[in-house]
């Protein structure tokens, strides 16, 4: 790591140690990080993001050997077996819900006895975590319900003069948040679609996709059945400009205003004529390309003072499940779907 980057890492460690905030790159999106053991610092995350206290934070650790910084160990045998089956996927875009270490302030977990935890794979995030003697609570570095940042400049644009130190890390590779799965129940259950496909995880655990994607159990006695995690708000990932899924969009007429379009394919001549702004993030419905560029495209078009943004749909398999989840939430206050 270049000397300048090392110096920035040390600056970030000092800020975090003193209860401050730092924006950090991860492979998913940029995060707004604080010392997860420092209650006042975690309050600052909620204040800057304008995030409701009912929405918990994901805690990041440097390596499997530091899991106890956030999680109550040892785990029950079955839970440990479930963790071991996917342990090699860390570092990576997988968040697991496990029993909370009592050292974590309750604001981090929204008062729950569980915690969402992961090990990010971005080298800057890993270096920072390795230098910190504490875990980091780090939700996405944007105002609550807004579009997640996938570039350092997105963070500065989001917070303006209130922006904390931002560690540069280039564009986020995945472009969508991590997949969240709870291990508190008899079988793993997916709580948020994300950058690690559900089908892959179901295969790893040797369970059916239907089991992994089941709804919360109605029984009040089942442990973890009502677990709250980030990304469950009905309206989320939304720019200021109205977002419409293609099938639900009103007729577009350039004489009545300028509309934008996010395409997952080569636009037709008619589309080029109808839309004032076209943003092509894939030419062949490639879900990896779409995931990596979607949030940046929403932010780009949001700056152009458009009447609305119309976005293509994609097949809901693999990464497509996470893409469509984000788009439905981004358009939830405007779409009838």
Domain ranges in the chain are 3-212, 243-330
Q: Which residues pair with 182 in a beta bridge?
A: 97, 189
Higher per-residue pLDDT: 190 or 247 = 190
Cα torsion through 235, 241, 247, 253, rounded to 10: 160
Say yes or no to pLDDT of 177 above 60.
Answer: yes
**Per-residue pLDDT band at 335 (split at 50, 70, 90):** very low
Choose the weakest-confidence range: 207-211, 229-233, 272-276.
Answer: 229-233
91 cis-preceded (ω within 30 degrees of 0): yes
Say yes or no to pLDDT of 216 above 70.
Answer: no
**Per-residue pLDDT band at 220 (split at 50, 70, 90):** very low
Letter string b/e over residues 65-84, b meaning 16 or more CB atoms within 10 A of that residue's CB: ebbebbbbeebeeebeebbe
Say yes or no to pLDDT of 233 above 90.
Answer: no
If you ran DSSP here, which 8-state letter would residue 31 be given? E
Pick the CATH number of 3-212 from 3.30.300.10, 3.30.420.130, 3.90.870.10, 3.20.130.10: 3.90.870.10
139 cis-preceded (ω within 30 degrees of 0): no
Say yes or no to pLDDT of 272 above 70.
Answer: yes
- The whole-number pLDDT of residue 222 equals 41
**Per-residue pLDDT band at 249 (split at 50, 70, 90):** confident
**303 and 279 Cβ atoms separated by less than 8 Å:** no
Beta-carbon contacts of residue 57 (< 8 Å; ≥ 6 apart): 36, 42, 45, 108, 109, 116, 137, 138, 139, 230
The answer as to CATH 3.40.50.2300 being correct for domain 243-330 is no
**Per-residue pLDDT band at 94 (split at 50, 70, 90):** very high
- The whole-number pLDDT of residue 234 equals 87
Q: Encoding tokens for residue 88?
A: 């090699």
**Per-residue pLDDT band at 226 (split at 50, 70, 90):** low
If you average pLDDT over residues 255-262, what whole number do you get? 88
The Cβ of residue 307 has, within 10 Å, a number of other Cβ atoms equal to 16
If you average pLDDT over residues 309-326, what whole number do you get? 97
- The whole-number pLDDT of residue 337 equals 39
pLDDT tens for residues 125-167?
999 999 999 999 999 999 999 999 999 999 999 999 999 999 9
Average pLDDT along the chain? 94
Say yes or no to pLDDT of 172 above 60.
Answer: yes
């Amino acid at each position: 790591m270049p000397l300048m980057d090392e110096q920035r890492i040390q600056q970030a460690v000092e800020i975090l140690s003193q209860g401050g905030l730092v924006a950090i790159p991860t492979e998913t999106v940029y995060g707004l990080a604080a010392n997860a053991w420092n209650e006042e610092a975690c309050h600052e995350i909620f204040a800057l993001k304008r995030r409701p206290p009912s929405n918990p934070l994901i805690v990041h650790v440097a390596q499997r050997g530091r899991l106890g910084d956030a999680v109550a160990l040892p785990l029950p045998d079955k839970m440990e077996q479930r963790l071991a089956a996917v342990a090699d996927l860390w570092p990576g875009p997988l968040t697991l819900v496990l029993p909370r270490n009592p050292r974590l302030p309750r604001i981090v977990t929204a008062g729950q006895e569980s915690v969402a935890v992961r090990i990010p794979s971005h080298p800057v995030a890993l270096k920072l975590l390795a230098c910190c003697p504490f875990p980091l609570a780090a939700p996405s570095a944007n105002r609550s319900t807004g579009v997640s940042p996938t570039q350092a400049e997105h963070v500065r644009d989001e917070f303006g003069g209130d922006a904390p130190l931002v560690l540069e890390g280039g564009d986020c590779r995945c472009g969508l948040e991590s997949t969240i799965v709870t291990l508190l129940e008899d079988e793993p259950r997916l709580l948020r679609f994300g950058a690690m496909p559900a089908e892959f995880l179901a295969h790893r655990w040797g369970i059916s996709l239907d089991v992994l994607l089941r709804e919360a159990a109605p029984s009040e006695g089942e442990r973890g059945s009502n677990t709250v995690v980030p990304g469950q708000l009905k309206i989320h990932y939304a720019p200021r400009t109205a977002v419409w899924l293609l099938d639900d969009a009103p007729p577009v007429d350039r004489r009545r205003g300028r509309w934008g379009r996010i395409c997952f394919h080569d636009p037709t001549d008619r589309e080029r004529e109808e839309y004032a702004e076209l943003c092509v993030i894939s030419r062949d419905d490639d879900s990896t390309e779409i995931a990596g560029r979607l949030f940046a495209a929403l932010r780009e078009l949001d700056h152009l003072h458009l009447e609305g943004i119309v976005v293509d749909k994609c097949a809901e398999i693999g990464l497509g499940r996470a893409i469509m989840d984000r788009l439905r939430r981004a358009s939830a206050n405007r779409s009838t779907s």
